[in-house]
Chains A and B, each alone.
Chain A
Amino acid sequence: EDKVVQSPLSLVVHEGDTVTLNCSYEVTNFRSLLWYKQEKKAPTFLFMLTSSGIEKKSGRLSSILDKKELFSILNITATQTGDSAIYLCAYRTTSGTYKYIFGTGTRLKVLA
């Protein structure tokens, strides 16, 4: 059975800390892995990772995929209170439906 597991489930840090969020997957027909940030409403897109070992960056956020070990990490440096959110990873299969299967999520809280 395909599954996506994120760790930790919940994390509390202070402003300025660096955090690393993990996403491991066991799926068939893997195509890409995506990271989303969800605050109060709909998830907002962060990254899509298809190739192994290529880091993607956006400001203080970066992410990388390891297709051999079947995991991805999301790094956030110099955290701010505005980074407090649920971070979701999802995989997309190569099958024709283009559906996404989401992981369990990591709830991050950044304290001032």
Chain B
Amino acid sequence: GAVVSQHPSWVICKSGTSVKIECRSLDFQATTMFWYRQFPKQSLMLMATSNEGSKATYEQGVEKDKFLINHASLTLSTLTVTSAHPEDSSFYICSARAPRASSYNEQFFGPGTRLTVL
């Protein structure tokens, strides 16, 4: 089946530093990837849609200069949280859409990255 990985699983950083999170589709090519964030005991909130070779599409209220997304290849998208602050601490999950979506499951989710900013 389609597998999506994220790296790192956990990251702790100091306030003001930048953190890069990678999302990889391991056994398929993903033209589109999605980035979500999830606060404790809350649902997934879509941050942006990442398309290979073009600029990401950000959801309303998400700062594109704060959350930089790069989708340089068909198997890799990166999310960089720039000048991170404690309020950016969250669980970040990516998903990937296979180019030939199945009838039942079109997005495959990564295991998530927990970011803690001190």
Contact = CB atoms under 8 A, between A and B. Distances in A.
Contacts of B107: 98, 100
Contacts of A99: 34, 46, 49
Nearest to A6: B43
Contacts, number: 49
A101 interface: yes
A97 B97 CA distance: 10
A102 B43 contact: yes
B93 A97 contact: no
Given A41-B111, A42-B111, A92 B43 contact: no
Interface residues of B, number: 24
Interface of A is mostly: strand
Interface of B: 32, 34, 36, 41-46, 49, 57, 93, 95, 97, 101, 103-107, 109-112
Interface of A: 41-45, 48, 86, 88, 90, 92, 97-105, 107
